[in-house]
C-alpha cells in the first residue's frame, strides 16, 4: 500500500471532500495516514476564506517540501497536490510560489484526481497539472459510494453560492449554486445509515437554498428533503449547515416544529447587527428581519438554540455599527458563535471599498465581541446543568473508563462508563459545565425497551 496524507482546512464541506478524495485514490493503492512523513502522496485541501488560511498553506507546503526532498535522496517520489478553494482562486500562482507542487485541482474537479495522479506519476507534466474548470457534468456523478462508518457523518447536498456577499470568495471558488437530486442524496443517506451513521449533517455553502430534482419530477426544497430523509429507519438526528437568513422560509421553519429528528440547533450567520453594514455586505436583509426569523423559529421550537458568524471591522464599520452588533448578540443570546476580523480578499467588492478599518481597531472589536460570545456560551452551558439530555456517544474519552458524545446542541459531553457506548443514544443527567464541554451521569431508565433503537457498533 502507498501512503496518502490528506489535510483539510476550513469548512465541513472540505472535510467531506477530503473523505471523497481518499475514496477516489484508494483503488490506486493509496491508504490514508495520519501525517506526511514518508508519504507517497500529500493532498492539502485548502480554504481561501481568510488571508491567514492561504498563508498557512504556503508554510505547510514549505515543511512538506523538505520531506519530499529527503525522500527523493533515497529514491522515492512524493506527489504533492493542492486542492480546494486556494487552488481554485490562486491557480498557477501556486506553481509560481511553490514549484515543487505537482497537482493543483479545484473543488469542482477533484473527481479527476486519479487521472491527474497517474499523469504526475508518469512525469508527463511535472509541476504543470492544473484542472480548474467548473465541469458541465457534476463531479457527484463520478464520486464513489460513501464508505461511512462513523456515528456522525456529513452529506453534501448543495454547493456554491449565488448570494455574492461583498466580502466572500465562495461564489468565485465554489461557483454557482448547484443542488444534487433527491434520489441521489437519499441513496447516499441510506448507505451511510447502513454503515452505522445515526446522525447526518446536510452540507451546503448555502444549504437552505437547496432546490433539487425530486423523484416526482418536481423541484424539492430543503424542508421536503429533510422530511423525506427523516423516514430512513435508524437515522436519529438530522442537521444542516450553513444557512442564509433570507432562505429561512416558513416551510423550513415549520419543519423545525414538526420533524423530531431535526436537531434544535441552527447555525444562522448574520455577520453584523448594523443595517448600514449589512447593506454594504450585500446581505439583502436588515437586522430586524433576522430578529424576526429567530423569533419565528423560537415560537416553532421553543428549545432551539442558535449559533452565528460575525465579521468585525468590515470597511466603514463605525463604533456605532459595532455596538449594533453587540446589541444583536445580547438580544439573541447564542449558544456559540464564530467571529473573525474582516480580511480583504482579492477580487471581492469589499476589498476595494474605501474606509478600510485599521487592524488595531479590528483586534480590539474582536476581543470585545469574543468576550461577550464566551460569556453567552458559558451561560448556555450552565443552563444545561441538572438537565436530562439525550447524548449521541461516538468515541472514547481521554481517560480510561470515559466515553464522549454530543448533545443536540453540539456540546461535547463526557460520562464515566465501564461499557462501550459508542454508537448509542442515551439519556444523561448533566452534572458539570466547564468551558465548552459538559459532563454527566448515565441515567438508568429501568425500562428495557425505552431505548430499543440503541445499537452497539463494534
> What does R_g of the chain's alpha carbons equal in angstroms?
23
User: Which partner from the list ligand SF4, ligand 5AD, none does 245 bind, CB cut-off 5 to 8 Å by kind?
Assistant: none
**Residue selected from 83, 168, 422, 426 as contacting ligand 5AD according to rule CB under 6 A:** 168
Instruction: Give, as ranges, the residues between 42 and 101 that touch ligand 5AD (CB under 6 A).
Output: 49-50
Question: Is residue 392 within 8 Å of residue 198, measured between CB atoms?
Answer: yes
Which of ligand SF4, ligand 5AD, none does residue 269 bind to, with CB < 5 to 8 Å depending on kind? ligand 5AD
Instruction: Scan for cell 496524507, then name that residue.
Output: 5
**Residue 275 contacts residue 287 (beta carbons within 8 Å):** yes
Q: Which does 290 bind (CB under 5 to 8 A by kind): ligand 5AD, ligand SF4, none?
A: none
- Binds 48: which of ligand SF4, ligand 5AD, none (CB < 5-8 Å by kind): ligand SF4
Give residues in contact with ligand SF4 (CB under 6 A).
10-11, 13-14, 47-49, 84-85, 169-170, 173-174, 205
**Grid cell in block for residue 418:** 465501564
Least distance in angstroms from the C-beta of 53 to ligand 5AD: 10
CB of 120 to ligand SF4, least distance (A): 23
- Report if residue 365 touches ligand 5AD, rule: CB under 6 A: no
Q: Which of helix, strand or coil describes residue 184? A: helix
Q: Is the peptide bond before 120 cis (omega within 30 degrees of 0)?
A: no
* Dihedral sign, Cα of residue 295, residue 296, residue 301, residue 302: positive
* 207 contacts ligand 5AD (rule: CB under 6 A): no
- Among the listed residues 322, 340, 380, 421, the single contact to ligand 5AD using CB under 6 A: 340
Identify the residue among 103, 104, 192, 311 touching ligand 5AD (CB under 6 A): 311
Name the minimum Å distance from CB 437 to ligand 5AD.
23
- Kindly state whether residue 325 participates in binding ligand 5AD, applying the rule CB under 6 A: no
CA gap 305, 40 in Å, rounded: 45
Nearer to ligand SF4, 11 or 222 (CB): 11
Site residues for ligand 5AD, 270-289, by CB under 6 A, read 271
Between the two ends of the chain, the Cα-to-Cα distance in Å is: 25
When the beta carbons of 117 and 161 are compared against ligand SF4, the nearer one is 161
| Least Cβ distance, residue 449 to ligand SF4 (angstroms) | 43
Distance of CA 351 to the CA centre of its chain: 25
Tell me the HSE value of 236 on the side-chain side, using a 13 A CA sphere.
Answer: 22
Q: C-beta of 6: minimal distance to ligand SF4 in Å?
A: 14
The entry of ligand 5AD, ligand SF4, none near residue 340 (CB within 5 to 8 angstroms by kind) is ligand 5AD
Q: Which is nearer to ligand SF4, 170 or 438 (CB)?
A: 170
Applying CB under 6 A, which part among 30-38, 244-252, 296-304, 335-343 lies near ligand 5AD? 335-343
Contacted entry of ligand 5AD, ligand SF4, none for residue 322, CB cut-off 5 to 8 Å set by kind? none
Task: With contacts defined by CB under 6 A, name the span among 134-142, 214-222, 338-346, 364-372 that binds ligand 5AD.
Answer: 338-346
Strands in 47-169 per DSSP E: 79-83, 103-105, 129-131, 152-156, 158-159
Q: How far is the CB of 47 from ligand SF4 (least distance, A)?
A: 3
298: enclosing H helix or E strand: helix 287-300
Find which of ligand SF4, ligand 5AD, none residue 309 binds, CB within 5 to 8 Å per kind. Answer: ligand 5AD
Name the minimum Å distance from CB 242 to ligand 5AD: 7
B/e letters for 400-426, b = 16+ CB within 10 Å, e = fewer, are: eeebbbbbbbbbbbbbebeeebbbbbb
Q: 433 is in the binding site of which of ligand 5AD, ligand SF4, none (Cβ under 5 to 8 A by kind)? A: none
Measured CA to CA in angstroms, residue 103 lies from 83, 279, 343, 357, 375 at distances of 8, 39, 27, 37, 45
Q: Which stretch binds ligand 5AD (CB under 6 A): 1-9, 129-137, 339-347, 387-395?
A: 339-347
Q: Which three cell numbers stand for residue 336?
A: 456559540
How far is 257 from 78, CA to CA, in rounded Å? Answer: 52
Give the nearer residue to ligand 5AD in terms of CB position, either 166 or 179.
Answer: 166
Q: Which does 13 bind (CB under 5 to 8 A by kind): ligand 5AD, ligand SF4, none?
A: ligand SF4
For ligand 5AD, how many residues bind (rule: CB under 6 A)?
Answer: 12
11 closest CA partner among 51, 43, 53: 53
Q: In the structure grid, which three cell numbers stand for residue 87, read together?
A: 487552488
Residue spans of beta strands (DSSP E) within 59-203: 79-83, 103-105, 129-131, 152-156, 158-159, 178-179, 199-203
Which residues, at least 6 apart from 433, have a Cβ–Cβ distance to it below 8 Å? 378, 381, 382, 384, 385
Site residues, ligand 5AD (CB under 6 A): 49-50, 167-168, 269, 271, 309, 311, 340, 342-343, 345
Amino acid at each position: 500500500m502507498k501512503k496518502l496524507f490528506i489535510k483539510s482546512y476550513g469548512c465541513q464541506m472540505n472535510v467531506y471532500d477530503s473523505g471523497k478524495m481518499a475514496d477516489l485514490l484508494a483503488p490506486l493503492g493509496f491508504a490514508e495516514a495520519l501525517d506526511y512523513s514518508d508519504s507517497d502522496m500529500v493532498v492539502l485541501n485548502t480554504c481561501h476564506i481568510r488571508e491567514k488560511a492561504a498563508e498557512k498553506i504556503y508554510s505547510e507546503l514549505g515543511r512538506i517540501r523538505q520531506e519530499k526532498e529527503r525522500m527523493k535522496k533515497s529514491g522515492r517520489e512524493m506527489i504533492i497536490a493542492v486542492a480546494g478553494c486556494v487552488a481554485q482562486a490562486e491557480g498557477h500562482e501556486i506553481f509560481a510560489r511553490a514549484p515543487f507542487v505537482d497537482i493543483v485541482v479545484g473543488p469542482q474537479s477533484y473527481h479527476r484526481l486519479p487521472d491527474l495522479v497517474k499523469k504526475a506519476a508518469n512525469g508527463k507534466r511535472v509541476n504543470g497539472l492544473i484542472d480548474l474548470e467548473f465541469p458541465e457534468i457534476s463531479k457527484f456523478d463520478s464520486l464513489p459510494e460513501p464508505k461511512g462508518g462513523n456515528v456522525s457523518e456529513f452529506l453534501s447536498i448543495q454547493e456554491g453560492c449565488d448570494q455574492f456577499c461583498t466580502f466572500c470568495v465562495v461564489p468565485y471558488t465554489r461557483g454557482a449554486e448547484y443542488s444534487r437530486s433527491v434520489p441521489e442524496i437519499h441513496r447516499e443517506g441510506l448507505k451511510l445509515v447502513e454503515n452505522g451513521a445515526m446522525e447526518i449533517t446536510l452540507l451546503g455553502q448555502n444549504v437552505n437554498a437547496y432546490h433539487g430534482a425530486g423523484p416526482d419530477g418536481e423541484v424539492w426544497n430543503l424542508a421536503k428533503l429533510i422530511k423525506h430523509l427523516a423516514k430512513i429507519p435508524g437515522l436519529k438526528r438530522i442537521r444542516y449547515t450553513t444557512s442564509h437568513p433570507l432562505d429561512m422560509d416558513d416551510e423550513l421553519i415549520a419543519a423545525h416544529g414538526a420533524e423530531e429528528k431535526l436537531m434544535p440547533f441552527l447555525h444562522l450567520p448574520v455577520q453584523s447587527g448594523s443595517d448600514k453594514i449589512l447593506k454594504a455586505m450585500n446581505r439583502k436583509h436588515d437586522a430586524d428581519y433576522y430578529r424576526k426569523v429567530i423569533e419565528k423559529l423560537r415560537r416553532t421550537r421553543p428549545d432551539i438554540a442558535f449559533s452565528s458568524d460575525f465579521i468585525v471591522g468590515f470597511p466603514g464599520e463605525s463604533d456605532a455599527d459595532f455596538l449594533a452588533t453587540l446589541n444583536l448578540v445580547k438580544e439573541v443570546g447564542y449558544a456559540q458563535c464564530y467571529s473573525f476580523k474582516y480580511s480583504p480578499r482579492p477580487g471581492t467588492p469589499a476589498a476595494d471599498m474605501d474606509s478600510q478599518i485599521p487592524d488595531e481597531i479590528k483586534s480590539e472589536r474582536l476581543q470585545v465581541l469574543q468576550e461577550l460570545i464566551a460569556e453567552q456560551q458559558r451561560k448556555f452551558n450552565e443552563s444545561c446543568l441538572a438537565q436530562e439530555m439525550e447524548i449521541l456517544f461516538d468515541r472514547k474519552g481521554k481517560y480510561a473508563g470515559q466515553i464522549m458524545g454530543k448533545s443536540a446542541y453540539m456540546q461535547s459531553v463526557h460520562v464515566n462508563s465501564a461499557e462501550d457506548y459508542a454508537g448509542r443514544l442515551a439519556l444523561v443527567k448533566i452534572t458539570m459545565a466547564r468551558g465548552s464541554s459538559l459532563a454527566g451521569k448515565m441515567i438508568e431508565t429501568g425500562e428495557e425497551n425505552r431505548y430499543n433503537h440503541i445499537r452497539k457498533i463494534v
